[in-house]
Structure 1
Amino acid sequence: MKARTNRQMMTTKPALLAALFLLGLLLMSASAWADRYSYSTDGSQVIDSTTGLTWQRCVAGMSWSGTTCTGTAATYTHQAALAYAKTQTGWKLPNIKELGSIVDRTRSNPAIDTTAFPATPAGYTWSASPYAGNSYGAWYVSFDHGLVDYSNRGYSVYVRLVRAGQ
């Protein structure tokens, strides 16, 4: 076996240390993410310790079965989503900052913690935030890859409701 030169060892050591450092960050991040959420007694709500928000565990149209979200996810135009939220006492359509806070960029299809939010459709979800540059637009999060963007308010997309605190 050929002995390594000092030069080879010097270039290998920093690369190895950098890889170990990144692995440590990922493990710490995954652990912190897992500790971020807790659940209501019946499991139908997710309490986010980072933001203080409480989320419906399932998107509109689906319901919590005790182990997962079941049923068919409903889609709404932006106006219909706002109207639907008003019928849900104590809940609201989240603003874009709130909705963006539950994106998990380490995942895709869907880009969300699927333990906390099981059966989340990998698609667009409305926020309450209008798009200032276009009166026909509103902000959404695309949970397929975690993209935040705006679209025409006339499109029908998913809805997940939120409320402040517990």
Structure 2
Amino acid sequence: MAKYCLAKITFVALFVVGLLQFTIFSRPSTFVDTRTALIWQRCSAGMRDNMGDCAGVAGLYDWQQALGYCAQLKGQGWHLPDRNELISLVDWQKRTPAVPDALRANTKNNVYWTATSSEEEPNKAYYVSMFSGFSYPNKKIIQGFVRCVQSLP
């Protein structure tokens, strides 16, 4: 009986922690990952926040454009996430897209660029597939989606 109760309590605690991972802000269109202390754009680049929903069409960017898009955002420290930062959004229990429920509606089921270049092939950088959660290097001229990030102050 004691083992059953402990397992049940552990499950409930993990479930609650999962629900509390993200704090959604309506302005300025961001959410905070409380595990990593990172502030993320709510909508993919090219879309706009429309009262909590993302409206418009997400843009496709090559790697250089993705870096530039994040760098030009208003506010301090916005950048294209590195590989580890973007993988931190992946929920390995989910697919299509492989992100927590709180982010599913505003995440394209495709590849998102990271700022991490391939050491072996300088003309490639890593992306993260939000379909599967896996990360692979791809040519920097290929187009992908973008979600910018900054650290909590």
TM-score range, shorter chain: 0.7 to 0.9
How many angstroms apart in 1 are the aligned matches of 2:9 and 2:129?
A: 29
Give distance in 1, aligned partners of 2:137 and 2:31: 26
Max radius of gyration: which structure? 1
Q: TM-score, normalised by structure 2?
A: 0.86
Is the 2:22–2:102 Cα contact (8 Å) retained in structure 1?
A: no
**1:78-157 equivalent positions in 2, closer than 5 A:** 78-89=63-74, 90-116=77-103, 118-157=105-144
RMSD: 2.4
Return 82-91 or 110-119, whichever deviates more.
Answer: 110-119
Q: Distance in 2 between matches of 1:22 and 1:43?
A: 40
Corresponding residue SS for 2:66: helix
Q: Deviations over 1:66-113 (max 9, x none)?
A: 232121110100011111122113411011110110111111110112
What number of residue pairs does the alignment pair up? 150
Q: Is the 8 A contact 1:57 1:118 kept in 2?
A: no
| Aligned 1:28-67 pairs, distance under 5 A | 28-42=13-27, 44-67=29-52
Distance 1:122 1:25, change over 3 A: farther
TM-score after normalising by structure 1: 0.80
The letter of the residue matching 1:110 is P
